[in-house]
Amino acid sequence: MTAMFSVLVEGDDHNEPVADAVRGILDGHVVMERRIAESGRYPAINVLRSLSRTVPGCNAPEENTLVQEARGDLSTWEEMQDMVRLGAYRPGNDPQVDRAIRVAPAIENVLKQQRGEKATLAESFDALRGALSVAEVLDESPGPRAPVPDPPAQDGGGSGPCRTGARAGS
């Protein structure tokens, strides 16, 4: 890393011209949102809007698959959460949405971090793997489904030059 920039945008408008231009020239960006912080999740990073062009090259292929799977589930949940909350979605209509409803709270727990809490990259990927396995365990269990869980507030392992003690995510 040769530089770190902080760009504050008014009213969380990430399409503001300066922010948009900066995002276009950097290798990655971390988007922090007040809404996530107000919900009590720290760090208040929106993993769906955050991006790193270099992290996939630093992760093992299995780690990249885990991250893509988690981002896909969170994206599906973000698109459907209002429909679910309003009762307009019926479980069983779309397996992808059903899965997102089940795993989103578990992924959200992986994204939470208390002050002073530390985890190795391997521990973070293990936690993410465990969160995603919630769907498989529930898919195999007989009987009626549990009620829809409360939604999340809201984007390790191999080797490479980019390894740090950070939590899994982008």
Residue 22, pLDDT score: 78
pLDDT at 124 (0 to 100): 95
Phi-psi region of 92 (alpha: psi -120 to 50; beta: other; left: phi over 0): left
Report DSSP state, residue 93. S
Q: How far apart are CA 55 and CA 121, in angstroms?
A: 12
Residues of the chain with pLDDT under 50: 141-161, 164-166, 168-170
Alpha carbons 33 and 145: distance in angstroms, whole number: 33
Which residues contact residue 21 at a Cβ distance below 8 angstroms, ignoring those fewer than 6 apart?
Answer: none
pTM for the whole structure: 0.74
Per-residue pLDDT, 59: 95
pLDDT score at 29: 84
Residue 67, pLDDT score? 96
User: For residue 1, what pLDDT is reported?
Assistant: 57
State residue 64's pLDDT score: 97
Q: Which residues contact 72 (CB under 8 A, 6 or more apart)?
A: none
Give, as one character, the DSSP assignment of residue 45: B
Identify the pLDDT of residue 28. 85
- From CA 156, how far away is CA 11, in angstroms rounded? 34
pLDDT digits (tens, 9 = 90+) for 17-58: 877 787 777 888 888 888 999 999 999 999 999 989 889 999
Query: Is-contact 116 160, C-beta < 8 A?
Result: no
